[in-house]
Amino acid sequence: MKETILKKATEMFLTLGFKSVTMDDIAASLGISKKTIYQHYANKIDLVNASAIHLYMLLSEGVDKIIARDLNAIAEMFAIRDFVLENLNDESASPIYQLNRFFPEISENLKTIKFKKMHTSMVANLKKGIKGGLYRPKINIDFMSRIYFTGLTGIKDNDIFPPELYKVKETTNEYLEYHIRGIATVQGLDILTHLLKNTIKN
């Protein structure tokens, strides 16, 4: 039952917003009493925290599967972008904004978890790209990993990038191209151009 509650809560939070959804809403959707929910989760904050981590872990597992495919470094970045966009679209931007605004402690904790995972993955991608001749050999790997995470976090800030002006897909695409152009070799730029053409077609 605990996992059932978690899955339903995550689905509702992502669709309707972390602040908007009440424990009554979740109970009604599952056809159970609030008391049953409280047997597994102490309060809404506890459930929001569990849901946020659950959502992140699902995305993290998907990214790991992409990395295991052993694509070239740039193709890997595009595949990860596609996967994330499939799971976090424009409709989910508002709930994530609510999480950041109304549950700042949970948001900060999640940010720390995300950074550790993304830093490890990004460092590996940068090393792979350098080894494959797609990224410039003298880039500062640690710096580039950190600046990428900072930028990726920044473009999700609704105050700076209002959703009515900037769609999640557009900002993500623009940022990925911006990142790769800054570190790619001539060979890497050729691959980037090819992948961008496929992106436009799709």
**34 occurs within a structural domain:** no
- b/e burial code for range 18-49 (CB count within 10 A of at least 16 → b): bbebeeeebbeebebeeeebeeebeebeebbb
The number of distinct structural domains making up the chain is 1
- pLDDT in single tens digits along all 202 residues of the chain: 999 999 999 999 988 888 889 999 999 999 999 999 999 999 999 999 999 999 888 889 999 999 999 899 999 999 999 998 887 655 556 677 788 888 989 988 888 888 999 999 999 999 999 999 999 999 999 999 999 999 998 888 888 988 889 888 889 999 999 999 999 999 999 999 999 988 754 5
**56 occurs within a structural domain:** yes
Alpha-carbon distances, residue 6 vs 16, 46, 178 (angstroms): 15, 11, 37
Give the span between the Cα atoms of 168 and 96, in whole angstroms: 12
**87 occurs within a structural domain:** yes
Q: What pTM was estimated for this model as a whole?
A: 0.84
**44 occurs within a structural domain:** no
Quick check: 128 and 76 in contact, CB under 8 A? yes
Question: Per-residue DSSP letters for 90-136?
Answer: GGGHHHHHHHHHH-HHHHHHHHHHHHHHHHHHHHHHHHHHHHTTSB-
| Domain containing residue 75 | 51-201
Which pLDDT belongs to residue 89? 58
**61 occurs within a structural domain:** yes
Which pLDDT belongs to residue 92? 53
**32 occurs within a structural domain:** no
**18 occurs within a structural domain:** no
Quick check: 51 and 132 in contact, CB under 8 A? no
User: What's 88's domain CATH number?
Assistant: 1.10.357.10
**178 occurs within a structural domain:** yes
Which pLDDT belongs to residue 182? 96
